[in-house]
Structure 1
Amino acid sequence: MKKALTAIFLLIMPVFLFAKAPELKNPNIKEIRFEGTIITVSSNQILKLLPFKIGDAFKEKLFNDAIKTLADPRLSPFNGDVKGYLKDTPEGVILTFVLHENPLINKVIFEGNNSINKSDLSDIIPIVEGMHYNTDDKLTSIQRIKDKYLNEGFIEASVSASLVPVDIKQNKYDMVFTVSEGKKIVVEKIEVAGAAEVNSGEVKGVMKTKEQVFILQSGVLNMEDFYGDKERIGMLYQQKGYLDIKITRFEWKIEELGDDKHKAIVIYVGLVEGPKYYVGDITITNNVLFSEEDLLKFIELKPNDVYDKVKIDIGRYMIYNKYSDNGYLYANVSYQMIKNPTNFMVDTVFYIHEGERAHIESVTLNGNTKTKDNVILRELIFDEGELWVQTKVRQSYEKLVQLQYFGNVNFVPQPGSAEGLVNIDIQVEEQRTGLITFGIGYGTASGFNGTAQISENNFLGTGRVVAFKGEYGEKRQLLELSFTEPWLFDTPTYLSISFSFSRYLYDNIPVDDNQDGIIDGTNINYVSNNTVSLPTFISTNRYYKQAFSFGLEIKKRFGVYWDGFLSYGLSLYRDMDANFKNPLILSSTWQPNTSLSNSLTKGYTFKNTLGIGFNWNSTDHPLNPLRGILGFLYLYNNGGLLGGDIHYIRAKYGLSWYWNPFWKLVVALHGSGEFVMPQFYAQADGMKFFYDTSDMLYFDGVYEMRGWMNYPYRGEAKAFYSSELRFEIYGQELWGVFFLDMGSLWSKYTEWTFEPNNYLFSFGFGVKLNIPGLPIRLYLARKGGFDNDSMSWKLEKNQYLLDNWQVVFSIQGLF
């Protein structure tokens, strides 16, 4: 019986397998209907989600795809309960979808968030007002809020979310997140066990996780930093020759500390250091293109040095770069450490697989949802079809980072269509480039000021910059409109145009209004002692400078690091509203400031400026360079053949060098000079050299010669030198700094010299907060100078190091 049934089944099975689905009377789609709970979504909006339209031929696969799309909360405003029906008619197919609209988010509300403000939480969640609710976004939002609280130190925080009806008929609900913060729990103790040869303080020093120290270190436990600390500790030991280091314990616990038994985080680190190793023989094998001697130059270690595995890794990377700069992208450089447990020497053998040369087949872009392709491609210094050169690829990457359009940039090489070909996939993550900002700031020299600015640094994704700025402060009021085209006529030529109105307060003016030979507000007789210096001078004497200005600048890049510019400026200004009559100026000697007196009575002054200059920038970051060089040379022609009331030439040069010896420690050296000199061309009246008081050179005491605010000296020549030791405190944003500034002013440009006479100095320490739109500088500075009588360097006022420190503070903040 079974055999008979089997035979019958085998006979009829092909009929079922190859039978065609019933043919439709008319395969064209006649009508698409939507039923169910649909309140705020229009039919046209739904139709845009479908892969077909009325009049198309019906396809079952596309019909099923449409149901999946409508049921996907990431793509549609409906929940997952979507049904689809087909009705076959002679006039065509009628499709019906039954849909249930998700709630529409009216407002996003946070409750219980006492320690983190609403805007910070709103920025990290995918739910926004006006979107439709879905469960995935709710769960993602809850997790992100919890992570945010965790990284702020609220380890026991809990978050819940609920929909609260606002207008059921209109399907409107508030999305309410309720936060139970709990108490902030931070790291108060890090216990390191087993650190014998390496100091436990050094172990703690390389960890990003820190114990709480008042306001200097928050003690917040960041999980990413914590897990990275294990690798950093291992690297520290491997730098010191302890290649067998074992981290036997690495964990954190919440414990009760102190007499009050408060909760705190304790981190436990257990170490077994092992023996210290030294360098034996270093050899390189399988190298054909370059000699062993050439490649060994990239290894800093020599026999019998302490074995530093980090330097070995750096050497391996540098050898690879040598090959990749010559087109050998697929070269492989590896090494083997052969440890001798008897004498603790380590022989190192580098193995080279040179491979074939690679050429760039194509370049693809991903992630540039706003920025146009050509804006990215024009920054690349390599072309398709070229030999792969690692240096060019790295420099192209740095140029894209310097644009500051992207939060993240990655160059990902991928195999091409044939051996020896490589495709470069450039992956970018757009960041906000348009800003509407309001701010309040304070500077030790500039006083309080408020600013408002509307700017777009990547206008319509073209790289163009449009900005309008207003500023109102104690010393300056400004309105400025500017436009910048970074690639004029699709060439690396930069064009900038600006219009502005400004009003600036000049204060602390030395005067002798009663003309008794004494500087008002002091007991200094400038007639009998006409070279006496005022280290600082503060008074109520002031005047205003009001100006209307137009600026035009064309800049062109030459190669990777060079650019040159040509600029024109037109300014119409007047000095006005002085509350004094007889101003003085200290140049080589005290004398009446006739230039200022004449300007105050003259009315408007007309000034024409033509500038030319060159810049060099090989730094690796626009805000916080770790390495590279910045240099410039500028020459500005004022008046002369251009005409106007002001006639002089200003020359300015500068050079800054950044070096990163290890970690995030940066040595920065800077030197600059500036001169005000006579015109080459004389006016009809013989005038070749005439400038306004505001054209004279000076130190602001904040960015140059820190601590020397209100220094009254002015001159035609200036030199400024600075050295800094910078160190990272928190990411790229917050850095600490130790500094030494030196500089001098000369009344005549011909008096400039390297001789120490009249040089000033200041030294100190402070912090820099380098966030675009929020630059903060806070320093403590001690001043001094070269004493011509004793021919020695002396501190100001007295020689006690701890006395007379100056606070230097500048902030320009957003709110």
Structure 2
Amino acid sequence: MLACLLLLLIPFWCAPGWAQLAADPIVRGIEIRGNQRVDASTILYYIQTKVGEPLSRALVGKDIEQIYSLGQFSDIRVETQPMADGVTVIYRVEEIPSVGDVKFKGNTSLKTEDLRPLISLKRGATFREHLIQDSITKLTAHYKEKAFFLVQIDIQHQISKNGLVNVVIEIKEGEKVKIEEVRFHGNKAFDHGELEDHMETKEETWLSWFDESGIYKKDVLRIDVLRLESFYHDHGFLKVRIQDPTLEINREDKEIYVDIHIDEGEQYRLGGITVEGDETYSREELLTVIQSKKGEIYNATQIREDALKISELYSEKGYAYADALPQTLLDEESKTVDVEVNVNPGRKVYVGKVDIYGNTRTQDNVIRREYRLKEGELFNSKKLKRTKQRINNLGFFESVKIDTRRGDSPELVDLTTTVTERPTGAVTFGAGFSSVEKVIFNASISQNNLFGTGRSLNLSTDLSARRTNFNFNFTDPRIFDSDISAGLDLFNRRSNFFSFDSRSTGGGIRLGKNLSETDWLGFGYRFENVQISDVDPASQTTFLQNGTRTTSRIGPTFIRDTRDDFLNPTQGTRHVVRFEFAGSFLGGADFHKTSYEGTYYQPLIGQLVLALHGEVQFAEGYGSDELPIFERYFMGGSNSLRGFTIRQVGPKDRNGDPIGGDQALLLNVELQYPVTKEFRIFGFYDRGNVYGDGFDTSTTSRHIDLANMRQSVGGGVRFLSPFGPISLAYGIKLDAVPGDTNAEFHFSAGNAF
């Protein structure tokens, strides 16, 4: 460009035609020459020299600057061609070539579409030599971040006939270099294993092909340093210093050694923690939620949690924007930390508008009636959490999100609920196999959110060699949006219990009421006609004999449920107490039944959940009646004692067939791990038995005996399908007796326990 600008100052150097001009001639024409890609009209747009005006060297200089600023030209020259009444000005340009095709070769591990955005060599872009090395540098860095430290990249380019530069990027990826060892230096308080447990970066193991351990990821390692610092801060090392990790690469053995240098510093303990009360909470009330204790090793995470609990206390009293900020003061002499929590409650706020979005099928009132907060009510974070929990427990939605935002005035907070509907209706057909029931076929038509009203309707059938069941169930959980529920059940069932056949037809009605957020009391009545047949005459007793009987029963059910999620609980308890009274003034067989069922969920390490379940049952006839055979308890299968069938548990007749018992005890222990929100794996230990009279009681006893119980271990999977919860389990007997199988496979549809 400098040479061309000199044309304006030194006549005859580049354009000798100018020397013949004694005065500024008139421009009679303007031509653009040498351009191939850039349109002439684009260049003319930036030229200020005009036809019909005198030629100005200063103006031509500006034209050259403007054209050059487009960034498309490597050289620009200006010439004049004399005419009879003036000159023609000719702008000769030399274009910088553009990038044509950009091809990647040799990249098998990383996708081309992931590599292409990393470089500036793109089709249509201006080609410049320095972009070659820039692209090599960026691609090499990206490969190294993916642990391809042996990568080699070469870029070839060639100008085509149309003036475009075609680029070929050849990549030799090499093998991934795995982390052979993570080496810590300077750590005294914690050993190698303790520190590595808090890192995502791991050394290569024999499982690396499965869990990708041993792969170096730069960003992950950077976050691991923060994790380690947090770990040290939670153990009192407030002045810990962790240097940026360094890498030692063994290219011959394809190994990486990660070195992390740590300066732990001194360990501090909690000197004391103070917080001032006010008219909302006294100092003593605030201290009750603080878990940190004087003299303990200082734990930064626990201090933050304590401050958060104080904020939550205030938010339960309407202070939605309360802020509790811990201030620390280090005493270097005693190596203690004093903490003062300063609370700024802000102003009280009230619930403004409550908006609901995303419910394409479910009616608004079905969601609103689960709200524990009403418009105009004082804000309460505890009630807000419970609201979300209750909406989740409806089972109608994939996700539930409740956001808070400032309302029309500073004293108001608006609540916005956004839900994502999940299918609640299904037509299902299924088949399975059981060693007891052989081929099992089931079908159902169900809708758990009928017409979006929250009501449920279910028609189902189960068919196998041992049972033929038809059921109809209808439930309205909130009659007229109240806390009262009602239901209707109709059934026709046939079951073969080996020692007898049972065919029962009947129905029942149910009423219930929520007593509190966690307590529910129900009352039901059921009538059924039961026909017993196929009893071996030699095995007949007063309670086991052919014939037809009716039962008419009433009874209350009390449920206390504090689980955080009904479908996939991780913590909380569920207690169920049932009592049934049959006969007497109701007619039919005289008996009563009592049962208690309890379930406990507790999170352990990470996402691992411990589930404990127990159930105890008693039944007894009264007056002159014994407990009918069809009301006795049987055990074995997916929802009770896994690894066993009903033929292998409890009293038996002289043919070795089960006759049930009047008492039962069941204990289940599960370790559950959620792989995803809808899918979890579990391992279990089951222990249980049925107790009562019979010809063969070799594996049981007359009354409940904790020492006389069948037991099994096993594992399985449980997932939430579009048709409801499904469970697959395999149980292995720990106390198999002659005639027993060693294990059983179970399939079930429904919740655990």
> Which of the five TM-score ranges fits, normalised by the shorter chain?
0.5 to 0.7
Q: 1:647 aligns with which of 571, 587, 590?
A: 590
1:620: how far off?
A: 0.5
Structure 1 residue 332: deviation in Å?
Answer: 0.8
Structure 1 pair 241–387 and aligned structure 2 pair: CA distance change class (3 A): same
Mark the CA change 1:783 to 1:237 in structure 2 (over 3 Å): closer, same or farther.
farther
Provide the residue aligned with 2:682 in structure 1: 736
User: Which residues of structure 2 form unaligned runs of 5+?
Assistant: 1-145, 149-174, 652-659, 695-699
Change (3 A) 1:365 1:471: same
Q: Any idea what the Cα deviations from partners look like across 1:706-742, whole Å, max 9, x if unmatched?
A: 4454113232223334455555555563143454635
The whole-number CA distance in structure 2 between the counterparts of 1:391 and 1:717 is 42
Q: Which residue of 2 aligns with 1:678?
A: 621
Indicate the residue corresponding to 1:684 in structure 2: none
Residue 473 (structure 1) aligned to one of 459, 464, 469: 464
User: Which of 665, 668, 685 matches 1:719?
Assistant: 665
Hey, what does 1:633 align to over in structure 2? 577
Separation in 2 of the partners of 1:204 and 1:251? 16
2:398 to 381, 387, 407: 407
Give the residue type in structure 2 aligned to 1:766. Answer: G
AA aligned to 1:556 is: K
| Counterpart selection for 1:704 from 640, 643, 649 | 640
Structure 2 CA distance for partners of 1:774 and 1:376, relative to 1, 3 Å = closer
Task: Kindly indicate whether residue 443 of structure 2 is the aligned counterpart of residue 486 of structure 1.
Answer: no
Q: Structure 1: any 5+ residue segments left out of the alignment?
A: 1-152, 156-184, 510-542, 584-591, 680-686, 785-795, 799-803
SS in 1 for 2:311: helix
Identity, % of aligned positions: 22
- Aligned mate of 2:726, from 752, 775, 796: 775
Q: Bigger shift: 765-774 or 490-499?
A: 765-774
Q: Is the 8 A contact 2:268 2:297 kept in 1?
A: yes
Across the two proteins, how many residue pairs are aligned to each other?
A: 553
Distance (Å, rounded) in 2 between the aligned partners of 1:187 and 1:636: 68
| Conserved? CA contact 1:362–1:422, under 8 Å | yes
Distance 1:809 1:187 in 2: 44
Once superposed, what is the RMSD of the aligned Cα atoms? Answer: 4.6
C-alpha change, 1:454 and 1:702, in structure 2 (3 Å) is: closer
Distance change (3 Å), C-alpha of 1:651 and 1:256: farther
Question: Where does 1:188-337 land on structure 2 (aligned, <5 Å)?
Answer: 192-194=182-184, 196=187, 197-198=189-190, 201=193, 219=212, 230=224, 236-243=231-238, 272=262, 274-275=264-265, 276-285=267-276, 287=278, 289-337=280-328
Q: In 1, distance between residues paired with 2:643 and 2:668?
A: 13
Letter of the 1:675 counterpart: F
Change (3 A) 1:739 1:238: farther
Letter aligned with residue 489 of structure 2: S
Of 564, 572, 575 in structure 1, the residue corresponding to residue 529 of structure 2 is 572
Q: Is the 8 A contact 1:698 1:745 kept in 2?
A: no
1:389 aligns with 2:380: yes
Residues 647 and 689, structure 1, Cα contact 8 Å, conserved in 2: yes
In structure 2, C-alpha distance between the alignment counterparts of 1:809 and 1:409, rounded to whole Å = 36
Structure 1 residue 375, shift from structure 2 partner:
0.5
TM-score (norm 2): 0.63
Q: Measure the CA separation in 1 of the matches of 2:417 and 2:744.
A: 43
Corresponding residue for residue 561 of structure 2? 617
Structure 1 residues 757 and 308, CA gap change in structure 2 (3 angstroms): closer
Render the CA deviation track for 1:317-357: whole Å, top value 9, x for unaligned.
22122212222222111223445667653332211002222
Instruction: Please give the alpha-carbon distance, in whole angstroms, between the structure 2 residues aligned to 1:209 and 1:432.
Output: 40
Q: Against the structure 1 CA distance between its residues 234 and 633, is the aligned structure 2 distance closer, same or farther, given a 3 Å change threshold?
A: farther
Match of 1:650, SS?
Answer: strand
Mark the CA change 1:781 to 1:813 in structure 2 (over 3 Å): closer, same or farther: same
* Cα gap change, 1:229 to 1:744, in 2 (>3 Å): farther
Identify if the C-alpha distance between structure 1 residues 741 and 292 changes in structure 2 by more than 3 Å, giving closer, same or farther.
Answer: farther
Q: Which residue in the other structure is 1:691 paired with?
A: 627
Rounded Cα–Cα distance in structure 2 between residues aligned with 1:451 and 1:266: 56
Residues 305 and 266 from structure 1, CA distance in 2 versus in 1: closer, same or farther, beyond 3 angstroms?
same
Structure-1 separation of matches of 2:376 and 2:324: 25
| Aligned partners of 2:693 and 2:702 also within 8 Å | no
Residue 348, structure 1, aligned to residue 284, structure 2: no
Letter of the aligned partner of 1:624 in structure 2? Answer: N
Partner of 2:519: 562
Provide closer, same or farther for how the CA distance between residues 199 and 758 of structure 1 changes in structure 2, counting only shifts above 3 A: same
Q: Is the 8 A contact 1:316 1:333 kept in 2?
A: yes
Q: Which one of the candidate residues 502, 506, 512 is aligned to 1:545?
A: 502
CA distance in 1, matches of 2:626, 2:336: 73
Which residue in 1 is equivalent to 2:490?
499
CA distance in 1, matches of 2:671, 2:307: 29
Relative to the length of structure 1, the TM-score reads: 0.58
Larger Rg: 2
Please name the residue that 1:759 is paired with.
708
Partner of 1:595: 543
Between the aligned partners of 1:227 and 1:470, the Cα distance in structure 2 is: 56
CA distance in 1, matches of 2:693, 2:570: 37
AA aligned to 2:745 is: F
Quote the Cα distance in structure 2 between the aligned partners of 1:452 and 1:189. 53
Structure 2 equivalent of residue 657 of structure 1: 600
Aligned 8 A contact 1:721 1:743 in 2? no
